[in-house]
Amino acid sequence: MSGPVGSADCPVDDDPHHDAAASAVFERYTARDANVGGITVRRALPKRERRTVGAWCFVDHFGPTDVPADPEMQVGPHPHIGLQTVTWLLEGEVVHRDSLGSEQVIRPGAVNLMTAGAGVSHAEQTPPGSAVSQHGVQLWVAQPESTRHGAPEFVHLPDLPRLGFGPWQATVLVGEVAGQRSPARTDTPLVGMALDIDESGSAVVPLDPSFEHGVVVLEGTVSVGGERVEPSGLVYLGLGRSELHVSARGLTRLLVLGGEPFEEEISMWWNFVGRGHVELDEAARAWNDGSDRFGQVDSTLARIAAPPRPFKRGE
Ligand code: MN
């Protein structure tokens, strides 16, 4: 006769060879589909049960799009507050225009980092007539109280540190990995790295154990700490890991995101990260009223109006 084996059958604490990794946090969250600027994205973060990983608070994975069957990405001018947008492409190109006067084409290998602070606006689109598939991510980082009321900023970072871990290549998007630091500004202790492999192989990638970490697979199938992980969802790995064991067969691309747990309680709605609904409503009203708080974007695309915010219970 067989049956479930409970802790009474097999007390885990009695095993002197108990593997610490076996009890480490490993939580899977499924991405949900959303439509952004005409294309379908898989949103891996935020989830109801998991709002942030470090200060990372939003992960949209788009593409690869089918050219020319799928529409081009066209996201008209819209505002942000209280966050940084981090754009990273695997394929294709996107033109970014913002209220600071920036106009920047981003291609694979570079990061576009926009810091909203008290307010910025931007538009993003596939160059008209582009024959290249679009595949990438847009990530948001919540800004802490100390910087979120500050000035907006935009930087294009084409030269990021690259490291090899066995057959894997790592690009440091944000923060530091094995002593190699990205030039990206960080307002809280944070790391973001892209891991790529073309063939098959395994590697051990160092992590900062004072950070919590998550993994988002963008392409291929990878084994993370012995567990199989497929594209687009988030795997949350918790705090206290000093290394990540990754193993893949064939072309595989993933992101590792981490940071010190973000202790400030944030409110997210539409394109805003704030503290409580009052300031989110103020930002939406200011944008819809054409306030100069968000500046002007030189774009032929239509401005996107803030929709009515759904009321929260008790409001
Ligand atoms: Mn945006």
CB 174 within 8 A of CB 191: yes
pLDDT in tens, 112-144: 999 999 999 999 999 888 888 999 999 999 999
Residue type, 250: G
CA of 268 to the centre of ligand 1 (A): 13
Q: Is 52 helix (H, G, I), strand (E, B) or coil?
A: coil
Ligand 1 geometric centre to CA of 164 (Å) = 32
Question: Which of 165, 147, 152, 168 is closest to 113 using CA atoms?
Answer: 152
Cβ-count burial of 55 within 10 angstroms (0-12 exposed, 13-18 middle, 19+ buried)?
buried
Please, are residues 252 and 222 in contact by the beta-carbon 8 Å criterion?
Answer: yes
Q: How confident is the model at residue 23 (pLDDT cuts 50, 70, 90)?
A: low
| Residues with Cβ within 8 Å of residue 143, at least 6 apart in sequence | 55, 82, 83, 84, 115, 116, 117, 150, 187, 273
pLDDT in tens, 211-229: 999 999 999 999 998 999 9
How many angstroms is it from 79 CA to the middle of ligand 1? 7
Centre of ligand 1 from the C-alpha of residue 155, in Å? 15
**57: CA distance to ligand 1 center in Å?**
14
The mean predicted confidence, pLDDT, of the chain is 91
How many C-beta atoms lie closer than 10 Å to residue 65's C-beta? 22
| Residue carrying structure tokens 């890991």 | 241
Contact between 117 and 125 (Cβ < 8 Å) = no
Q: What is the pTM of this model?
A: 0.91
Distance between Cα 123 and ligand 1 center (Å): 7
Residue 114 CA to ligand 1 center (angstroms) comes to: 9
138 CA → ligand 1 middle, Å: 9
For the cut 50, the answer to whether the pLDDT of residue 7 exceeds it is no
198 CA → ligand 1 middle, Å: 31
Question: 228: CA distance to ligand 1 center in Å?
Answer: 32
Cα–ligand 1 centroid distance for 200 (angstroms): 36
Residue type, 237: L
* Cβ 47 vs Cβ 58: under 8 Å: no
